[in-house]
Every structure is written in structure tokens, then in C-alpha cells.
A and B are shown apart, each in its own frame.
Chain A
Amino acid sequence: MKPLPGTNRGFFKELSHSRTLILMCLPAILFFIVFCYIPMPGAYIAFTDFKYNQGIFGSRFVGFENFRFLIISGKLWQLTRNTILYNVAFIVLGNILQIFVAILLNEVRLKWFKKIAQSVMFLPYFISAVLVGFLSFSILNYDYGFIPNLFKALGAEAPKFYSNPRVWPLIIVLVNLWQTTGYGSIVYFAAIMGIDPTIYEAAEIDGAHAIQRIWYIILPSLKNTVAVLILFSIGGILKGNFGLFYNVVGNGNPILQPTTDIIETFVYRALMNQFNFSSSAAAGLYQSVVGFAIVMTANWIVKRIEPEYALF
């Protein structure tokens, strides 16, 4: 790797040299300091018998007592499994679909169609999860929903989506793909646009057809982008998409929980039902620690295989 310009200068020289870059980073740095680093010591609440008037650090230390309910409730395995499986599905299917869409967009020659297709696919990303919840309820609910009514109109027995936990993994993954594919494909599309056009010309001269161009030029050039994006997503593998699950599955329907309950919805429910800040924080901390371990492991593996693709 080429050393960055100015890496051998002093810290302050470096600061003044890169001041524009640093200034541009500042909002992001501030964001993480305020919302991630400053609240971090507050995680100590998970180890206390929290008293309102004594504050987090004045309350009695109780060790792992608050974690005990996670184990007694017997849900830890189900929650961890659900969270990880959903994220694996989101990451794998999401990336494949995004690359596929980016390649399709790249092959489209009609400019106006390309623009419209991109915008239409982009749109769902900006629809709030609350609205997505309402939309899916009006499509799926048994009494008045679009799909069950279609079945009824055809004289068939209408499906009862909200009473059947088995169909939900499919519904949630579909909704997630619908929301994120357009947005995610932009990054890949940009990467494809960045491929040196002379390579295409050379391939054309050699007589490569479209499929070969995709297979031998585009896909290998995307390897780097894929690795970085997947590593980033693995970092959040234990972080469920709370808005999606909470709104689409609904908080009040325990029948669907076996297949839809993720750590975040569990933490939320525990807090809402128990008003116990300490045990909710304990569940949150469990999530963070396991997530941290997964990122470190993934990064370590990538480093062993292809050091350049590792995050750090």
C-alpha cells in the first residue's frame, strides 16, 4: 500500500494539512462521540440495582444478577438464533440481489428507463417502517386484506398470515429486500461505473459476449466492494432491524414470536412490560458484546485470507 501523503509529518502538521478533510469528518466524529461513546459508561446500569435517586453510579453493584432473567426465561438461544439467521439472510440475499440489479441497470441502454427504474426501486428505502407496517397489515390481514380477499374471491381458503409463525421469515425477508435493494444497488452500480472502460474495449476486441463480460470483468471488479460492505453488515449482525420487526410483526402478537422475536424486540418488550432498566440494559449489553466478538472474528478471518480487504 502506498503511504498516505504526510504520514511522516508531526501530528499538528498533519492536522493543519488535512484540516478540510477533518472538518468534513467532524459531524460524523461528533455524532459517534455524543451518541456512542459518551453513553457507553451508562452500560454499567446493567450491573446495578438501579435506584432513581442514586443514579447509575450511585446504585448498588449486583454483579450479573440482572443477566439471570435472560437465562431463566430460556429465550437466549431462540433470540440469538433468530437475530443471526435473519441478518445472514438479509446480507446474503440482499447483496446478491443488489449486485444483480446493479448489473441489470448497467446493461440497460435506454437512459430514461434507467433513471425511472432506479428512482422507483430507490423509493421504498424512504418509507417509514410505521407505514410499511400499515401497508403490510392492509395487504395481509385476514378480514379485509388484499391477499386473503383475493383467495376468498377465487373461492379458496384465505391464508391466516398473522396466526402462522412459519410464513414470517419469508415475509420479513421479502419486505427487507423490497426496502433495501434499490438503495444498496447504488453502491454497486457506482463501483461498476468506476471500472476502466478500456478493459471492456479489450474484451470486446477479444470477442467477449455480455455474459462473459459480466462474469470475467464486472464480478471480479466488485470483489473489494462486496468484502467491505459485507464486513460492515456483519458488524451489525446482532443488531436487528428494530423498526421493521416492531412495526411489521406487531408488538402485541406473541404467536409469531417463535420465528420473529429478535434481541431488540425482546429488550424493548422486557422494558415495556417490566419497566426494569437494569435487566433491559443487561440484554442490550449481551447483544453488544456478542456483536463485537463476531466483528472481530470476521475481520480476523478476512485478514488471514486477504489482508487488504480487512477493515482494520
Chain B
Amino acid sequence: MKRMLKAVALALLVLFATSAAFAAPSAKTAPVTLLLLGNKPTNGRIEAALAEINKLLGPRIGAELKVQYIEWADWQNQYQLALASGDSNIDLVITATDWLFAREIARKGGFYPLTPDLIKANAPKTWAEVSPAHWDLCTENGKIWFIPEDQYSQYTNHGVYWRLDWGKQGGVSTVKNFADLEKYFDAVKKNHPEAFPWDVSGKESSFGQILYGYLQSSIPAQTILGCSTGNHGIFWYNTKDPYTVVSPFMDGKELLDAVQTFDRWAKKGFWREDVLNYQGQTREEMYDGLSGADQHHTQTYVTQTRPQMDKRQPGSELQFYYFGMENKNVNKDLMTHGAMAVNAASKNVPLALKVYELLRNDKQIYMLFNYGIEGVDYVMKSGNVLDRPAGWDVTKQSLDSNFWGGRMDAFEPLNAQHWADKNKLYAELNAFAKEYPLEKFAFNNTKVAAEMAAIGDVCSTYMPAFAYGKTGDPVKAVNDFRAALKKAGYDKVKAEIQAQLTAFKTATKK
């Protein structure tokens, strides 16, 4: 027994000694943790890339980059919790004003207030390449709250992906509006009993993007960002007069049109009867030929769904009908659709900015972090074309560094894995897509927070049912919804937004 104890003690001693020896080099470097969104990959590729990056970061600025993922399950809430918890281990935070609540979190004190001097001292290249107008978009109360990803072009406007081969079987060769989409779904329903025209899942349906798409395609108006009630943005601006609050959810006949359309689609069986409870993976089903459609944005189409479908359903020629195609009502991405903030609780603010500077502006580190190790994760071909090594499988070997807060067009290679004709689609969108006119407008909800919470509850009760034809009588449902909105304080909130928007207009015109 004594001998065994001795052996255990010796083993522990050796363990401590070796771990101390291994830990020694990192004593000179300080960790900087980047909070990302995405499912943590388990294939070891991100760790391999980080090891290479840290070989460069250590000697140059004495930092060691780490990443922490907010997984997609309940991400909205987990993201806010991570910042609310005051965890000082998080330094850099991927954020966005349109989908990651950057302005709200800044106001709630989740981000570290940056100053021009602090940025100039630690991230001089970044400071120089972002224009004063773009810095202004990130400024509130005299402080800079995040750094915009403003040197990267992409489109994240939503729409529906559909298969040209299945469409042609029913005589549908273009989808340019919701009527065409209905014809396409009819064709799939008729010719492909093995598949649902759109096997949409409850996760997707809980938001009801298709309902927003219908309205966007019907009227010249768009959502005002930053004054959403929970997940739902029911206050819109007219694209001809951005300073007037309108709401197709309260006024006009378009909402009823939409609800009646989706009610008809549900009755035709375009999706499951129990769509609101179904938890399947729509995109995977589309790849397997079990769903005739999927819903997401342009960037996903050109980088993922189109190339994947070409591989897995050859000849499918997946198409993209984007919302607003028929009435040319599409907005360009915001300058702050991607951004980087520093966590308020960070203890390494200057170092975090130094790390960001290199992630964004050092080509070698940029490529390592976004694409991995050359020869293993990617290969370069002539003409600055990035390709993957033979046998590389996106579903197994993907790096998933999801650096959505500082990508640079200047460093981005052409990508052999993307849809070859993506520039045609970009050109089409560039021809008419508008800038979002209220990017700087930051709504302060203090006076109407309770009403907005109540409206949010009304929305999450009605919207999914509207979007998937689950309301019963559409006329009654729309009337009930509008009455419930009024009861929850719709008029008060609208008046408050209008007052702040008018004040914003006056301030902007000065």
C-alpha cells in the first residue's frame, strides 16, 4: 500500500513538473479570446490553424489567440448571456447591428467604449482604412462601440431556393414572384410525391421569414432595424420617405393577402401539416432530394447551397428567387452587418485591438484564420483561385472560423468551390439594390420597453401561424392580431419611434 502511495505521489509530481514546463512559454503571452457564432467544429482544423497563428502572434505582439463559440442552438439568448455574465475571459466579440443587437448591447453596457486614440495606437491600419463616415456609424454618445466590416462585399438578402429541373417538369422555368413560386410548388407536389415542396422546419418557421418576404415583395417598404420587438420587426419605413414609420402589419391589405396565400399553400400541402412542430433539417433534405426548396440568403446560395446541389443533385440547377425581385425592393448589406467589438469586461483591451489589427490586415494571418493551412485546408491555383485539396469534404473538414467581423475584399481569393456565376447575381443586385438609409438611427426603447415586450409576445403568437397557414379564418386572424397589437400598446410605440425618427431626421439634416 505504502509503495503504491509513493508511486502515485511520484506520478503526480512528474505530471506537475511537465505541465509547468509546457506552460512556461505561454507565460510570456497573454490570451485573447474571440467570441464567435457557430457550432464548434470537432475536426481539429481550427486548433491547427490557431497553433500556426499563435506562432506568429506570440513573437510579434505577445498574444495567444483563442476562440469561443456560441452554438446555433438558442444563439440569440446565449450570445447575450455570454456578454451579460461579465466573463472577463472574453475579449473580442463578433457583432452586427442588424442581426446581433450591437446597438442594444452597447447601450446595455456589454461593449467596451473605444476611442479614436485607443484604436489609432493599437490598430492603426484599421483606423486609417475605415472612413470617417463609417466610424460615425459605430459611434454613439461620443464613443466608438464596434469596428465595422466595411471592406467586404456580400449580399445577405433572403429568398427561396428552388430546383430548375423540378420546375421544368411542371412548365415553370422562372420564378419571379410569389405566384410563380406557387406554380413551382404545385409542380413539385404533383410530380414528386417522395418530397415536400418545401419541408420547412419549426426552427425556421418560428420566425416566419417568408411572411416578411411576401410583404417586402408587395410594398415599397423595409424594416427599421434596431426597434424590433423581440425577434419581430413590425415597424417599417417607406423606401421613398425613410423618416415616416409605416407598418404593413397594421395597415393595408397586404398582410391579409399574405395570410390568405399561405393558408392556401398549407391546404395544398406544400409543407407538413405539423410544420410548426417539425424539427427536421430542411437544407439537408433538399440536398437529399426530399425538399423542393429551402429559404436563406444570397451569400449562402453562392457559397453553399448552389455548389452543394450541383454535386449532390446533378442537373438540379438550383435557382434563387429573392424577396423583392419583382418590385426591386432589396437593400444592400449594412456596413455594420458584420463588426467587431471589445467585451466590456475584457482585461486586455489594447492587446485585443492589436490582435484584431493583424486578423484583419495581415494577409498571412488572415488566410490562416479564414482558410486554414495551405496545402492541407486549401490549395492556391493560378489566377489567385482558391480550391480545396482532392477529397476535401466541406461537411467534415470545414474550418468554421466564422470571422464575420473584419473580412477584406483585398485579401479574398476567387473561390473555385463557389458558384461560378455568382458575379452575375451580384451585378443583377448591384443594379438596383439600395443603401439602408437609417443605419445610424439608434432607437432608445427605455420609455416603451414594456409595450415592446408585450408586442413581441403578440407577434410570436401570431406570426408563425400567419406564415404557415395555421390561423383558421385569415380575415378573423388578421383582425384579432391587429386588435391584440393595439391592446399591447402599438400606437404608443409607433408614436415614440416616429418622434425619435423625426428628431433623427432633423439632426441628420443639420
Q: Which chain A residues have a beta carbon within 8 Å of chain B's beta carbons?
A: 49-55, 65-66, 68-69, 72-75, 137, 140-143, 160-163, 250-255, 257, 269-277, 279
B272 interface neighbour in A53, A55, A143, Cβ under 8 Å:
A143
A-chain residues with CB within 8 Å of residue B108 when the two chains form the complex: 50-52
**Chain B binding surface SS class:** helix
Q: B99 → chain A, closest Cβ, in Å?
A: 13
Chain B residues within 8 Å of A163, by CB: 273-274, 470
Q: Name the distance in Å between B46's Cβ and chain A's nearest Cβ.
A: 27
- C-alpha spacing A250/B468, complex, angstroms: 16
Is the C-beta of B191 less than 8 angstroms from some C-beta in chain A? no
With A52-B110, A251-B206, A274-B453 as known contacts, state yes or no: A72 contacts B488, CB within 8 Å.
Answer: yes
B457 at the interface (CB under 8 A from A): yes
Q: Which residues of B contact A55 (CB under 8 A)?
A: 86
Interface residues of B in 102-128 (CB under 8 A from A): 105, 108-110
Is B36 among interface residues, defined by CB-CB distance under 8 A?
A: no
Whether A252 lies near B110 (C-beta < 8 A) is no
B438: CB under 8 A from chain A? no
Q: Which residues of B contact A251 (CB under 8 A)?
A: 202, 206
CB distance from A158 to the nearest CB of B (A): 9
Whether A143 contacts B231 by the Cβ 8 Å rule is: no
Given contacts A55-B86, A69-B450, A255-B465, contact A274 B456 (CB under 8 A): yes
A50 to B230, CA, bound (A): 17
Please give me the residue from chain A that is nearest to B84 by CB atom.
A52
Q: B276 contacts A162, CB within 8 Å? A: yes
Task: Render B212-243 as a binary contact track against A, CB cut-off 8 A, 1 for contact.
Answer: 00000000000000000011000000000000
A279 to B452, CA, bound (A): 12
Closest approach, in angstroms, between the C-beta of B101 and any C-beta of chain A?
7
Give the interface centre of A141, A250, A254, A271 by most chain B CB atoms within 10 Å: A254
Q: Which residues from chain B contact A69 at a C-beta distance below 8 Å?
A: 449-451, 453-454, 457
B205 contacts across to A, CB distance below 8 A: 252
Verify B272–A72 contact, CB threshold 8 A. Answer: no
Flag B442-462 by CB within 8 Å of A: 1 or 0 each: 000010011101101110111
B39 to chain A, nearest CB (A): 18
Across-interface contacts of A255 in B (CB, < 8 A): 276, 465, 470
B203 at the interface (CB under 8 A from A): yes
Q: Does B464 contact A (CB under 8 A)?
A: yes
Min C-beta distance of B341 to chain A, whole Å:
12
Interface residue stretch chosen among B74-82, B131-139, B309-317 = B74-82
Can you report 19 A-B residue pairs in the complex whose CB atoms are below 8 A from each other? A49-B446, A54-B109, A69-B450, A72-B451, A73-B457, A137-B277, A141-B272, A142-B274, A143-B272, A143-B274, A162-B277, A163-B273, A163-B470, A250-B276, A252-B206, A252-B276, A252-B277, A255-B276, A279-B449
Any chain A CB within 8 A of the CB of B170?
Answer: no
Instruction: Please give the distance in Å from B295's CB to the nearest CB on chain A.
Output: 15
Write the nearest CB–CB distance from A163 to chain B, whole angstroms: 6
Given A73-B458, A254-B461, 5 more A-B residue pairs with CB atoms under 8 Å apart are: A73-B488, A74-B487, A142-B273, A269-B457, A274-B453
Q: Write out the residue numbers on chain B whose beta carbons fall within 8 Å of the beta carbon of A54.
A: 109
List B contacts of A74 (CB < 8 A). Answer: 454, 487-488
With A143-B273, A143-B274 already in contact, the answer to whether A275 and B206 are too (CB < 8 A) is no
| Contact A272 to B76, CB < 8 A, known contacts A55-B86, A163-B273 | yes
The residue in A50, A75, A276 that gathers the most chain B C-beta atoms within 10 A of its C-beta is A276
Q: Are A141 and B278 CB-contacts (below 8 A) given A55-B86, A160-B273?
A: yes
Q: Enumerate chain B residues within 8 angstroms of A142, measured Cβ to Cβ.
A: 272-274
Question: A143 CA to B195 CA in the complex, in Å?
Answer: 12
Among residues of A, the one whose C-beta sits closest to the C-beta of B266 is A163
Which chain B residue lies CB-closest to A274? Answer: B230
User: How far, in angstroms, from A124 to B74 measured CA to CA in the complex?
Assistant: 28
Residues from chain A with a CB closer than 8 A to the CB of B451 are: 69, 72
The answer to whether A254 touches B446, judged by C-beta atoms less than 8 angstroms apart, is no
**Interface residue? B489 (CB, 8 A):** yes
Closest to A55 in B: B86
Within residues 226 to 274 of chain B, which ones have a CB less than 8 A from any CB in chain A? 230-231, 272-274
Which residue of the partner chain B has the closest CB to A59? B109
* Residue in contact with A75 in the complex, picked from B76, B206, B231, B457, CB distance below 8 Å: B457
Neighbouring B residues of A273 by C-beta, 8 Å? 230-231, 456-457, 460
Given A75-B457, A272-B77: A253 and B276 interface contact (C-beta under 8 Å)? yes
Let me know if B202 and A252 touch, CB within 8 A: yes
Instruction: Report which of A50, A161, A162, A270 forms a contact with B457, defined as CB distance below 8 A.
Output: A270
Q: Per-residue CB proximity of B120-157 to A under 8 Å, as 1/0?
A: 00000000000000000000000000000000000000
Which chain A residue shows the least CB distance to B230? A273
